[in-house]
Amino acid sequence: MTSDPQPVHLSDYRPFPFRVEGAELTFRLNPSATRVLSRLHLVRQAPGDLRLDGERLEVLSLSLNGQPLSLTPDATGLTIPAALIPEGPFTFEAEVRIDPAANTALEGLYMSGGMYCTQCEAEGFRKITFYPDRPDVMAPFRVRIESDLPVLLSNGNPVAQGTGWAEWHDPWPKPAYLFALVAGDLVAHRADFVTRSGRPVDLAIWVRPGDQDRCAYAMDSLIRSMRWDEEVYGREYDLDVFNIVAVDDFNMGAMENKGLNIFNSKYVLASPETATDDDFARIEAIIAHEYFHNWTGNRITCRDWFQLCLKEGLTVFRDQQFSGDMRSHAVKRIEDVLTLRARQFREDAGPLAHPVRPDSYVEINNFYTATVYEKGAEVIGMLKRLVGDEGYATALDLYFTRHDGEAATIEDWLKVFEDATGRDLTQFARWYTDAGTPRVTVSDDWQDGTYTLTFRQETQPTPGQPEKPPRVIPIAVGLLNPNGDEIVPTTVLEMTEAAQSFRFEGLAAKPVPSILRGFSAPVVLDRKASPEERAFLLAHDTDPFNKWEAGRALAKDVLARMVTEGAEPGPDWLDALARVALDESLDPAFRALALRLPGEDDMAQTLHEAGVTPDPQAIHAARRRMGRALALRLRPQLPALFDTLREPGPFTPDARAAGRRALRLAALSLLTRLDEGQAAASAYRAADNMTEEVGALACLLDIGRGQEELGLFQARWQGDRNVMDKWFALQVLHAAPGEAAATAERLTRHPQFDMKNPNRFRSVMGALSGNHAGFHHISGAAYRLTADWLIRLDPVNPQTAARMSTAFETWARYDADRQAMIRGELQRILAAPGLSRDLGEMAGRMLG
Ligand code: PHE
Ligand code: ZN
């Protein structure tokens, strides 16, 4: 056994002692023996050896200023002793051989369906050649690709090409993690764009032949993103071409390589027949996200990987603003909060909790998390709320002018806000350095026309952080009078102490407070409100987020009592919800969200926080009873709700049409609980788009039917990888708790199951952990199956194995038997021979 991998610490950061003035790379592509020639032009900046990162490189030659170097690299790189390095500029050259066809980890240069592609973030470039593979070393790149394949792409602008070769030049200095190369038999979907200062840009989305008719939506999203960044942030594109490539084998969603974004094909390809409304919305958001990185990530990058949230939190915040502008801010905010709670609150409450800016890691790939991304975006939202829209705009302008071309830190980012607005952000910085979700409890008092709200904040200890000093929390509050009129419009209260009161004077009657409007801070709000008050806010709140939240809180109270006391849903909840569901003055998308019952994993976390050990089976059963009660309450209206929302004419993916389909499917799902699936079976056959096809199939699977439809689906779609992923996932996600593991196990034996393809692996194993009652079934079968497959995947693709292991992060919520079983599986993973640093770190942290 090798010794345990050592953690990297933020406090150990040292600047690199050399500058790279230019990097010239030549690739002679060959599936199992690609040659990479690199010539680096370097200048010394400070004393010291020259350390270059490099992993699994077969060295063919090394030289310094043309003189051969007889040095032997170690397992992680090459050290050129200071004594060998001349004063002044010098050139280092290397020729290495690598094996893209054997690269199943999908990091560095690899092959996917006959094409070559790269993934370098975070530390993949060192698997291509020797280089200072760290984000604060920025250089212009020249790339020559030699291959018989027809399409040869790299970063920047095309310089020249001939038969069997092409040359690219990227004038913008960039870190190696933004390097990209693609070579393949690809076709382009093209469009033109002219930036607002008049620069023409050739846009192209490159896909495998046959997929070119599924690129229109991604292209339209790209054009809207480019325009939006000009209009809202004043940011223009800066090259002559912008290329996007779709690949089937990809560990993540997409990657913002300069001028050459590489995408998981599921976030590019879409047609009404193959993509759901959620797919369309995600494509729009991810295209925007990667494009927005051109300024927030590429032009201004991160000094080191601890600063990851500098680019990710900001870019998520920007893509959320964009989606809100394109669609509905209210609906987008509710969806974003649902995701934040499901992923980030869950992470923050368990053994993997870490600050938005972590201060140590073993494997950086394990820190592309909901905390860095989604909480990182929430922190920026709070900052904007605190300094106001104008302060935010001024600060962002200053950020772009001050740091363009640099590798920056969170301190730089906060300093910009301090300088632009004059605000002291010392306490605010805790949002970056302290892990954990604050819990804010509220009490109120009413006396002589004065209404007082008292807040207390408390954050539980997280790994390595026992003390949690109070944070600045912007709490947006509005007050309604008993008639439902708003008497105090939204006001942002700034909480800075552990306990703090705020007074509203001169009121005629005791108001009803609407607290944390728009989800103004990523906290758990603990307010013991009566069902009447919640129903009142659900009916009257003018803040759409809190209107929805009131219904949600009501539903969670009802569900909690169903689980713990065996209660049945009473008329107050049913009537309040029915009113919203049937209120035609409301956006159908909002009504659909209101009808969505609380998730089982969310309920388990809520019960755990209330001191109740969650029983996954009991939660599942109660939630089904809840759905049936709602269906019975709405029975007379359901058929009409389903029929009248039918969209006339051809499918359009816009938010309005998608919202109508969402409500229609919510009605179908309720109907299915009453008619044994008759309506869903005919909806399946009548569906002319993937949203309804999948929606109807899910309804059927939920009640244990749909076998015939699964067969029809497979027969129709077996040639389409992205659509077949849905077929795999649906069966596992909607399996009965006792059958989920067996269903997943059976699917792993399906001829189209391939663990080397991350999408396919996730569609089975990710779906299994997404089926809460199935994953936590007391037999332990799902725990075992998941651990078996993580151990099997780890040597093939450690990054994806590590990511999927978060299925186990919630073990501490459950009863002793389940805890023992999960911990046993984590031990078994830790004991696996040759375990990767990635999965080893995750299992170790989860065991504590
Ligand atoms: N930087 C990518 C994004 O956020 C995510 C990513 C990370 C992709 C690491 C691949 C590898 O857009
Ligand atoms: Zn990103």
Q: Rounded to whole angstroms, how far apart are CA atoms 789 and 745?
A: 10
**Could you report the per-residue pLDDT of 457-484, keeping only the tens digit for each?**
999 999 999 999 999 999 999 999 999 9
Strand duo 260-264 + 241-247: pairing:
parallel
Please determine, for residue 746, whether its predicted confidence score (pLDDT) is greater than 70.
yes
For the Cβ of 256 lying below 6 angstroms from any atom of ligand 1, the answer is yes
Nearest CA to ligand 1 atom 9: 121
CA of 312, nearest ligand number: 2
Note the pTM of the prediction, 2 decimals.
0.99
pLDDT, position 104: 98
Nearest CA to ligand 1 atom 7: 121
DSSP 696: H
Both structure tokens of 325: 């502008």
Please determine, for residue 813, whether its predicted confidence score (pLDDT) is greater than 90.
yes
Please determine, for residue 78, whether its predicted confidence score (pLDDT) is greater than 50.
yes
Percentage of the chain with pLDDT > 70?
A: 100
Nearest CA to ligand 1 atom 5: 255
For the Cβ of 211 lying below 6 angstroms from any atom of ligand 1, the answer is no
In this prediction, residue 169 has a pLDDT band, given cuts at 50, 70 and 90, of very high
Q: How far is the CA of 585 from the centre of ligand 2 (A)?
A: 37
Which of 256, 262, 282, 799 to probe ligand 1 with, by most ligand atoms within 8 A of CB?
Answer: 256
In this prediction, residue 38 has a pLDDT band, given cuts at 50, 70 and 90, of very high
Q: How far is the CA of 289 from the centre of ligand 2 (A)?
A: 6
Please determine, for residue 60, whether its predicted confidence score (pLDDT) is greater than 90.
yes
Both structure tokens of 518: 């728009």
Provide mean pLDDT across the span 269-295: 98
One-letter amino acid at 817 equals D
The residue among 647 and 388 whose pLDDT is bigger is 388
Q: Rounded to whole angstroms, how far apart are CA atoms 258 and 242?
A: 9
For the Cβ of 119 lying below 6 angstroms from any atom of ligand 1, the answer is yes
**Could you report the per-residue pLDDT of 602-629, keeping only the tens digit for each?**
999 999 999 999 999 999 999 999 999 9
pLDDT, position 737: 98
**Could you report the per-residue pLDDT of 374-424, keeping only the tens digit for each?**
999 999 999 999 999 999 999 999 999 999 999 999 999 999 999 999 999
Q: Which residues of 787-814 are buried (b: 16+ CB within 10 A; e: fewer)?
A: bebbbebbbebbbbbbbbbbbbbbbebb
Which of 250, 368, 803 to probe ligand 1 with, by most ligand atoms within 8 A of CB?
Answer: 368
**Could you report the per-residue pLDDT of 767-794, keeping only the tens digit for each?**
999 999 999 999 999 999 999 999 999 9
Residue keyed to tokens 């399409």: 151
For the Cβ of 177 lying below 6 angstroms from any atom of ligand 1, the answer is no
Nearest CA to ligand 1 atom 2: 255
Question: Apex CA 482: angle with CA 477 and CA 488, to 5°?
Answer: 30
User: 3-state class of 239 per DSSP?
Assistant: coil
Provide mean pLDDT across the span 139-154: 99
Provide mean pLDDT across the span 818-838: 98
The arrangement of strands across the sheet holding 241-247 comes to 187-194, 200-207, 241-247, 260-264, 254-255
Please determine, for residue 3, whether its predicted confidence score (pLDDT) is greater than 80.
no
Provide mean pLDDT across the span 37-61: 98
Both structure tokens of 69: 């170097």
**Could you report the per-residue pLDDT of 311-334, keeping only the tens digit for each?**
999 999 999 999 999 999 999 999
Q: Rounded to whole angstroms, how far apart are CA atoms 302 and 294?
A: 13
* 545 within 8 A of 331, measured Cβ to Cβ: no
Q: How far is the CA of 375 from the centre of ligand 2 (A)?
A: 13
Q: Rounded to whole angstroms, how far apart are CA atoms 219 and 268?
A: 9
Q: Rounded to whole angstroms, how far apart are CA atoms 192 and 222?
A: 11
Q: How far is the CA of 290 from the centre of ligand 2 (A)?
A: 6
DSSP string, 356-402: SS-SEES-GGGG-SHIIIIIHHHHHHHHHHHHHHHHHHHHHHHHHHH
Q: How far is the CA of 22 from the centre of ligand 1 (A)?
A: 25
Q: Rounded to whole angstroms, how far apart are CA atoms 401 and 424?
A: 21
Rg, the chain, Cα only: 27
Q: How far is the CA of 255 from the centre of ligand 2 (A)?
A: 7
Q: Which ipTM score applies to this complex?
A: 0.99
Both structure tokens of 401: 């002018």
Nearest CA to ligand 1 atom 1: 255
**Could you report the per-residue pLDDT of 360-372, keeping only the tens digit for each?**
999 999 999 999 9
pLDDT, position 132: 99
pLDDT, position 5: 87
Cis peptide before 94 (omega within 30 of 0): no
Please determine, for residue 764, whether its predicted confidence score (pLDDT) is greater than 70.
yes
* 464 within 8 A of 550, measured Cβ to Cβ: no
Q: What is the mean pLDDT of the chain?
A: 98
Three-class HEC string of 301-347: EECCHHHHHHHHHHHHHHHHHHHHHHCCHHHHHHHHHHHHHHHHHHH
Residues 6+ apart with CB under 8 A from 41: 20, 21, 22, 23, 24, 89, 90, 91
For the Cβ of 255 lying below 6 angstroms from any atom of ligand 1, the answer is yes
Q: Rounded to whole angstroms, how far apart are CA atoms 759 and 720?
A: 13
Provide mean pLDDT across the span 527-536: 95
For the Cβ of 107 lying below 6 angstroms from any atom of ligand 1, the answer is no
Catalytic residue among 55, 95, 290, 312: 290
Which of 255, 261, 838 to probe ligand 1 with, by most ligand atoms within 8 A of CB?
Answer: 255
pLDDT, position 1: 42
DSSP string, 575-602: HHHHHHHH-TTS-HHHHHHHHSPPPHHH
Q: How far is the CA of 365 from the centre of ligand 2 (A)?
A: 13
Catalytic: 290?
yes
Nearest CA to ligand 1 atom 11: 121
Q: Rounded to whole angstroms, how far apart are CA atoms 222 and 209?
A: 21
Provide mean pLDDT across the span 91-95: 98
